Chains A and B, each alone.
Chain A
Amino acid sequence: MLGIARSHNGAVALLKDGAVAAAIQAERLTRRKRQPLFLRDDRELVSGCVRYCLEAAGIGYSDLAAAAICTAWKVEPLAAERLAALIGGPWPGARPILHVPHHLAHAEYAVHYGPPAAAGLALVVDGSGAWEADRASFSIETPLRPDALCFADPAGKEVISAFVFDGAGFQVLYRQSPAADPRLRFDENIPELDSIGKYWEWASQYCHGSRNHAGKVMGLAAHGDPATYAGVGALTMTREGRVHVDYGKLRAVFLEPNVVRTDVSLRRHYADVAAMVQGDTIAVLLGLLERLQARARTRTLYFSGGVALNVVANERIVRSGLFDAVHLNGSCEDNGTAIGAAVAAHHALTGDRRPELVTDYYGRAYGAAEVHAAVAESGIAYRVLDDDGLVREAGAALASGRIIGWFQGRSEFGPRALGNRSILANPLDPDTKPLLDLLMKQRERYRPYAPIVPEEAAARYFDLAGSSPVMMREAYVRGGPPLPAITHADGSARVQTVAQRDNPLLHALMWRFAALTGVPVLLNTSFNGPGEPIVESPDDALRFFQRGFLDALYLGRIAIDRL
């Protein structure tokens, strides 16, 4: 089953017997951040992504049974011959092509990682999803429950959806699809939509001069005081349950947009704006979930859509007591809809569901021969280590304050490096953060770096109940040895827990580091430079290394020292 996210964050995924076999974001191949897939004139890119997945899964074009396409733009039906041209392989006319509603694909992605047949509430919150006008074009219908709260304008787009999942199928419990006045825009490209995702785009535009920095807003919020603008009431929920963003108030109150994109580190005004947006979001999400939970009568939540990347809100939901289980996975942005659409199509065509454990290692693994060839081609001197030697040497390098590139196994699909395409560093060293900020990442000082910790040791260093395998939760750093490089301004950290079964090499590396320093926590940041996608191939990693920032690169079992 082929899944395609036709999106500003384009992606392709492949399901084999109902389980995800491979997935890739287009940006990883073009090396251009937020690379869209339009399915128009981008045949080379689409076919490149499809070939990547086929090779990673070890299958061919003839094994493809159906395709599922998901978009937040207007649906453009695809004939078989057009799809064949786009993917670069045959597509017989009888082979199904399904169009899956955007929010349903997000929900399908979320429930794919729950326990088998675990009923629950699936909440999807993002900037905007499918057009209501396109409902007739979709191949999969989702019925409305009789008690559904539905605020859908025929000219609107999905911005919040909640589905009741019974372990097999979905019913809509909540739908908000507002229409936007095309004349009202807070930026030339961004409509003033009643959407939590758009509210974050507004904040990103206001604080950072670009709509694409919601993550920076989240980092900035920890420096601000939510009380300063608590009375503005820009994001609210009506008594009926409709979410509203008052852009008029935002225009009237906030008069200093950062149009020149200056560094807003330690600027109180912007930090307070960010704290307001974060506080409003938590309040509205909790209010909405309380209402939906009472209707759905379930203690299980699945959460997806771009807003689910907000670890601060996630943690408040987890700790709210509304749910016994909150399921989150890392590709909750549009890239995950490639998987979600394929899962939806697989279920629609076969009636089968094959839930999987939470993971995001869906990219290619590069074999030893491929890695050796790439290094040999670069002409850089290298050494080959065994597993034990690799862990010992990298652990010692980290303990001595060296910053290393760590390229192992399958690449990550989503926005977060989870230890296979990572830059790793010593969180105890006060130099680590300025070195990363000023040299490798070239970023603002207020933004935190994330820690990784063995799952079994997480509770000793962080106030975290349970696990966080895809870095979707926030926890406070407990007292103990100071960890300056990963502790945020408010004492929190965006933790990734690593279980031995999920990533044995990384797990061993953390314990080796602990043997030398007493602490099994490492700083983990994505293996990329500023404004670049995460490295995908050995060539990408070597190019980054050759810029001279890293002290060492561990590329599979190959060790390369600073040039």
Chain B
Amino acid sequence: MRAVFVRAYRALAERVCAAGETAAACDLLLRLIDLTDEDDAVRDRVAELLLAHAEAVSAEDLPRDEALALRARLAAAYNRAGAVARAEAILAELLHEALDLIAREPAAACWRGLLDAFNSFPDHGRARALLTAGLRRRRGEPGGG
């Protein structure tokens, strides 16, 4: 069942990408990444597609949960492409808002995006520092940036 979903989403996402419907493509790609988290090779291929489109999508084009998820996935894609500083900058920028949203709503896409982003860091100590700072900032504590 799951494999059928993955194949269907993948085919659809690639067609939408090819048609240049960027926001819709990103939406589909996010769902596809969720489906393929357990398969690194497929996920990385989808992340590449996402990377090619995500920067072009305006946050207003997507619901809040998905917009944050998209940026978190983008950070993960940058990390996997070796652009760690870029990934850190994206995450640092979105973290406060993302933590706020997941405290209030299901925000399942955003949560999964954060999981992916934090675990894509080659140095997990760096991810730890970033998250700690984000949590402190959300509480308005010193050291939270």
Interface residues of A, Cβ cutoff 8 Å to B: 209, 259-267, 430-431, 434-435, 438-439, 442, 444-445, 547-549, 562-563
Complex formed: what's the CA distance from A547 to B1 in Å? 34
Decide: A435 and B128 in contact? CB cutoff 8 A.
yes
Question: Is B83 located at the chain interface by the 8 A CB criterion?
Answer: no
CB distance from B3 to the nearest CB of A (A): 11
Contact of A548 among B2, B123, B139 (CB under 8 A): B123
CB distance from B98 to the nearest CB of A (A): 10
Knowing A439-B128, A547-B124, A548-B128, the reply to whether A262 touches B135 (Cβ < 8 A) is no
CB distance from A189 to the nearest CB of B (A): 12
A563 partner residues in chain B, CB cutoff 8 A: 125
Question: Is B17 located at the chain interface by the 8 A CB criterion?
Answer: no
B35 partner residues in chain A, CB cutoff 8 A: 260-261
Decide: A434 and B111 in contact? CB cutoff 8 A.
no
Complex formed: what's the CA distance from A444 to B111 in Å? 8
Decide: B125 and A209 in contact? CB cutoff 8 A.
no
**Which of these binds chain A: B19-27, B45-53, B55-63, B114-122?**
B114-122
Decide: A262 and B108 in contact? CB cutoff 8 A.
yes
9 A/B residue pairs, CB under 8 Å, sorted by A:
A260-B2, A261-B2, A263-B112, A267-B106, A439-B127, A445-B102, A548-B123, A549-B128, A562-B125
Question: Is B131 located at the chain interface by the 8 A CB criterion?
Answer: yes
- Given pairs A267-B106, A548-B127, 18 additional interface contacts (CB within 8 A): A259-B5, A260-B2, A262-B108, A262-B112, A430-B139, A431-B135, A431-B136, A435-B128, A438-B114, A438-B118, A439-B119, A439-B124, A439-B131, A442-B115, A445-B102, A548-B125, A549-B124, A549-B128
Interface residues of B, Cβ cutoff 8 Å to A: 1-2, 5, 31, 34-35, 99, 102, 105-106, 108, 111-112, 114-115, 118-119, 123-128, 131-132, 135-136, 139
Knowing A439-B128, A547-B124, A562-B125, the reply to whether A263 touches B111 (Cβ < 8 A) is yes
Decide: A266 and B105 in contact? CB cutoff 8 A.
yes
CB distance from B29 to the nearest CB of A (A): 14
A438 partner residues in chain B, CB cutoff 8 A: 114-115, 118, 131
A548 partner residues in chain B, CB cutoff 8 A: 123-128
Decide: B34 and A262 in contact? CB cutoff 8 A.
yes
Knowing A265-B111, A549-B128, the reply to whether A442 touches B119 (Cβ < 8 A) is yes
Knowing A438-B114, A548-B123, the reply to whether A265 touches B106 (Cβ < 8 A) is yes
Decide: A259 and B112 in contact? CB cutoff 8 A.
no
Contact of A434 among B34, B125, B131 (CB under 8 A): B131
Complex formed: what's the CA distance from A434 to B95 in Å? 12
Decide: B106 and A266 in contact? CB cutoff 8 A.
yes
CB distance from B69 to the nearest CB of A (A): 11
Q: Chain A residue with minimal CB distance to B139?
A: A430
Complex formed: what's the CA distance from A209 to B37 in Å? 14
B106 partner residues in chain A, CB cutoff 8 A: 263, 265-267
Decide: B132 and A435 in contact? CB cutoff 8 A.
yes
CB distance from A265 to the nearest CB of B (A): 6
From A261, A435, A548, A549, residue with most partner B Cβ within 10 Å: A548
Contact of A431 among B112, B114, B123, B132 (CB under 8 A): B132
CB distance from B56 to the nearest CB of A (A): 26
Contact of B1 among A259, A265, A267 (CB under 8 A): A259
Knowing A445-B111, A563-B125, the reply to whether A259 touches B132 (Cβ < 8 A) is no
B114 partner residues in chain A, CB cutoff 8 A: 438
B115 partner residues in chain A, CB cutoff 8 A: 438, 442
Knowing A445-B111, A563-B125, the reply to whether A435 touches B5 (Cβ < 8 A) is no
Complex formed: what's the CA distance from A260 to B102 in Å? 20
Complex formed: what's the CA distance from A431 to B128 in Å? 11
B112 partner residues in chain A, CB cutoff 8 A: 262-263
A435 partner residues in chain B, CB cutoff 8 A: 128, 131-132, 135
